[in-house]
Amino acid sequence: MIENIMKHAIRSLAKAVKQQRSIRLCRRAALTVVLSGLTNADLLPMESNYIADRVGGRSCQLLALYLTRKIAVSEWREHFLDLFRHVIINADSWNNKNAFSTSQFWLNKLFLTLEDYQQDIVLSGTVWLDEAYYPVINSQIDLKEDGSKYRGLSHNQICIGAATDNKNIVCFMEGVGKTSQRRSFQTFSNHIAPYSTLIHDMETAHKKLVSVLNLKNEEYLAKDLKGLKDRDNPLEPVNDLHNSLKKFPDVHSGFNRGRLQDYLNLFAFVRNPPFEPLEKLEKVVTLVFQNPKSLHYRDQFGLNEGF
> Which residues have CB under 8 Å from 289's CB, separation 6+?
23, 26, 27, 59, 61, 62
Q: What Cα–Cα distance (Å) separates residue 84 from each residue in 110, 196, 205?
A: 12, 30, 33
116-166: per-residue pLDDT in tens? 999 999 999 999 999 998 887 777 777 777 767 777 677 788 999 999 999
pLDDT at 20: 45
226-264: per-residue pLDDT in tens? 888 888 999 999 999 999 988 887 666 667 778 899 999
pLDDT-derived band at 80 (thresholds 50, 70, 90) equals confident
7-29: per-residue pLDDT in tens? 454 455 445 444 444 445 455 55
Which sequence spans correspond to the domains of the chain?
2-116+283-290, 122-271
Average pLDDT score, the chain = 75
What integer is the mean pLDDT of 156-182?
94
pLDDT at 109: 82
Complete edge-to-edge strand list for the sheet that includes strand 197-200: 169-176, 157-164, 126-135, 197-200, 216-219
What integer is the mean pLDDT of 192-220?
96
- Say yes or no: domain 122-271 is CATH 3.30.420.10: yes
Residue 288 clears pLDDT 90, i.e. is over it: no
pLDDT at 146: 74
Higher pLDDT, 86 or 114: 114
pLDDT at 166: 96
Torsion angle of the four alpha carbons 277, 121, 129, 111, in this order, in degrees rounded to the nearest 10: 60
CA dist 114 and 269 (Å) reads 8
Cβ distance 107 to 90 under 8 Å?
Answer: no
Higher pLDDT, 169 or 85: 169
CA dist 105 and 108 (Å) reads 5
pLDDT at 269: 95
Cβ distance 63 to 52 under 8 Å?
Answer: yes
pLDDT-derived band at 284 (thresholds 50, 70, 90) equals confident
